[in-house]
Amino acid sequence: MKGTPTRVLSDAAAIAMALGSFAAAMVGWSIAVWIPVTAVVVALLSRRPLLLVVAVVMLAAALGARSDRGLAVRVREREVREWVTVMRDPEQFGAATRLDMRLGHMRLEVNAYGAPARALSRLLVGDRVEMAGTVRPRPVYAPWLDQRHVVGRLDVREVYATRPAAWPYSWANALRRTLHGGARSLGPDHRGLFTGFVFGDDRDQPSVIADDFRGSGLGHLLAVSGANVAFVAALLAPLLNRLDFRLRFAALSAALTFFALVTRFEPSVLRAISMASIAGLAAAMGRTVSTNTVQLGGLMVGLGGRSWGCGQW
């Protein structure tokens, strides 16, 4: 008597999930997010691959629609003095310091000069700032701001006080500052390459060197990606090998999540972490998993990434 066939997610279904998530995130569908989330949980518990594909596609569509609704917020010009939260690490553009901040439910692009610029340049993601300035609508045509979920601008006049980020951002920022401090002995050119190689901070990379890397076909080395995730796993291997399989997966997941926080959830890192998590989960459950399925799991995160970054919600 033949046993009951095991229901697994085939490679074809994984491809359908990846492509469907991409298309659904671009189109969007106004539906309560809890509905597809519940469907995903039911599909996983009941081991129904078809239902899982449909539920994930619906979830991407719902999150994509929510992102679009956030970008539709109308911002009126007004003077403010508020506490805001840093959402994107500061960058220098000539004499200006530019970063993204959250004011209420709005994500704003901040421009500062002079003393406010010097004060803001020392901050990192998650830090809090009390400032005064002018909120303005964003330009009518600025598609590059859509990817950052920016709905307006904030021109800063004065910075009054700052507060460090809460946990876990405080830990991630402390590690980034430690790595930056350790690179001070390097020359300016090498310092920017080091921070880019290790944790994806390319703000100090000279444009000439970056162009040389891209021209030689080595531009991928300037971005944090799967190789960095492999280095983290290799570094933790002696500790992880001493743990039970399930504890090993939990510890690996926690470490990779923290690494994603340190690297600011770069899409390439999310793809690599999703692939490592699928492989780690299969090992913890004592099951085999198709290499194609692992790769397609990472591809799904990359293609559907537009729907997950609802910055102002």
Average pLDDT value for residue range 183-210:
81
| pLDDT one-digit tens code per residue, 81-118 | 999 999 999 998 888 899 999 998 899 999 899 999 99
Give pLDDT tens digits for 271-296: 888 877 777 777 666 666 555 454 44
Greater confidence, 115 or 230?
115
Q: Are 31 and 54 a contacting pair, CB within 8 Å?
A: no
186-195 pLDDT tens trace: 887 788 888 8
Of the candidates 77, 86, 68, which has an alpha carbon nearest to the alpha carbon of residue 152? Answer: 77
Average predicted confidence (pLDDT) for the chain: 83
Q: Is 19 exposed, middle or buried (0-12, 13-18, 19+ CB in 10 A)?
A: middle
Partner residues linked to 108 by β-bridges:
101, 152
- Measured in degrees and rounded to the nearest 5, phi and psi for residue 37 equal -60, -45
The Cα angle at residue 144 between residues 141 and 147, in degrees rounded to 5: 120
**pLDDT at residue 266 greater than cutoff 60:** yes
What is the model's pLDDT at position 187? 81
* Res 58 pLDDT > 50: yes
Indicate the range of 71-80, 170-179, 237-246 predicted with least confidence: 237-246
Handedness of CA 271, 276, 282, 285 (dihedral sign): negative
Cα within 13 Å of Cα(175), Cβ side: 15
What tens digit of pLDDT does each residue of 6-54 get?
Answer: 577 787 888 888 889 889 988 888 889 999 999 999 998 888 889 999 9
Q: Provide the β-strand partners of residue 111.
A: 98, 155
234 vs 225: CA distance, rounded Å: 15
Lowest mean pLDDT segment, chosen from 129-133, 151-155, 206-210, 220-224: 220-224
Q: How far is CA 61 from CA 142, 226, 253, 293, 300, in A?
A: 23, 27, 26, 22, 13
Confidence of residue 80 (pLDDT cuts 50, 70, 90): very high
pTM over 0.85: no
pLDDT at 181 over 90: no
